[in-house]
Amino acid sequence: MGATQTRPEPQYQDLVEATGFSLEQIKNLHKRFEQLSGNADTISRENLERIPALANNPIKTQIIEAFFDKRNQHGNELGSYEAIGFKEFLMVMSHFRPPTLRTTEEEKEAMREEKVRFLFNMHDTDGDGKITLQEYRRVVEELLSKSGTIGQEAARAIADAAMLEVASTNVPNMGPDDFYEGITFEHFQQILKGLEMESRMHIRFLDASTAHGCCRK
């Protein structure tokens, strides 16, 4: 592998345990990390913005922001980084691992919660633990941002309808004076229960080193 190997093996081992990826997968992701960062140790937002394929994505900003969000690092910190290292990159990516045949039911539950938490953090931009109406509106607006003016007008209506639905299902008997502050994490989990996140929210991580046609180790 030669010059591109910047990390010694034992540190990969830590990462394997922390994130659950296999060694092969970590190596591939590391290669990609270096590609994105230009062989530096950290990635900034600009590095990610430069990916050409992301340009067409309506929620590009949110995705990039998610990488720099401290809440996705399995710690208890809030706020965001300016630049992230490989470990942080990997931690964010680990949210997208699929369950395996050996995953038990409890592990699947934990995985689902983790993934739903990731989505929640993406929506809850001010970090107060609730998705307010404004934030939700913004989500829908971004989703429809590539659809012109039709999108923008309908976005507000759709977001309001969705919010109403969350409130209706979770707190069905609100008096006319009560105010629904925002979607809490529990309510969010409730409304997404039907989607079964642990089976949907994953991508394929390459095991073999086919991505760059690199020489065998």
Partner 1 sequence: MLPRIAPFNRTGFARTVPELGLLLLAILVLLEGSVLPLGAASTPETNTHGEANRSGAVEGHSNHTKKAFPVLSFNYESVKLPFEISLWVLLAFLMKLGFHLVPRLSGIVPESCLLIVVGLLVGGLIRLAREEVPPVLNSKLFFYCLLPPIILDAGYFLPIRPFMENLGTILMFAVVGTLWNAFFVGGLLFAICLIPQTPVLNIGLLPCLLFGSIISAVDPVAVLAVFEEIHINELLHILVFGESLLNDAVTVVLYHLFEEFALVGSVTVLDGFLGIISFLIVALGGVLFGAIFGFLAAFTSRFTSHIRVIEPLFVFVYSYMAYLAAEMFHLSGIMALIACGAVMRPYVEANISHKSHTTIKYFLKMWSSVSETLIFIFLGVATVEGPHEWNWVFVTATVILCLVSRVIGVVGLTFVINKFRIVKLTTKDQFIIAYGGLRGAIAFSLGFLLDEHHFKMRNIFLTAIITVVFFTVFVQGMTIKPLVELLAVKKKQEAKRSINEEIHTQFLDHLLTGIEDICGHYGHHHWKDKLNRFNKKYVKGFLIVGERSKEPQLIAFYHKMEMKQAIQMVESGGGSKLASAMPSTVSMQNIQPKNQAAPLKPKERALPQLSKGREEEIRKILRTNLQRTRQRLHSYNRHTLVGDPEEEGIKDLILKKQMRIELDRKIKEMANHLTVPARTQDSPTMRRARLASGRNTDFIPAQQQKGNKNSSDPQSFTVKPSADGVPVIQVDLASPQSPDSVNLFDETGQPAQNDDQGLMMKTKSSESDKRSEKDDLRDQQKLMRCLSDPGPAAEEDEDEPFLP
For residue 199, give the amino acid letter: S
Helix (H) or strand (E) holding 84: strand 83-84
- 176 sits near partner 1 (criterion: CB under 8 A): yes
Q: Of 4, 5, 6, 169, which one interacts with partner 1 (CB under 8 A)? A: 169
Q: Give dist(CA 137, CA 178) in Å, integer.
A: 21
Q: Which stretch binds partner 1 (CB under 8 A): 4-12, 14-22, 78-86, 164-172?
A: 164-172
Helix (H) or strand (E) holding 89: helix 86-93
For residue 150, give the amino acid letter: I
Nearer to partner 1, 10 or 27 (CB): 27
What does the block give as tokens for 202? 């994953």
Rule CB under 8 A: which of 99-118 touch partner 1? Answer: 99-101
Question: Looking at residue 52, what DSSP letter applies?
Answer: G
Q: Give dist(CA 75, CA 78) in Å, integer.
A: 9
Residues that bind partner 1 (CB under 8 A): 29, 32, 35-36, 48, 51, 53-54, 56-60, 63, 67, 93, 96, 98-101, 119, 122, 132-133, 139-140, 143-144, 146-148, 150-151, 153-154, 157-158, 160-169, 171-176, 178-180, 191-192, 194-195, 199-206, 211
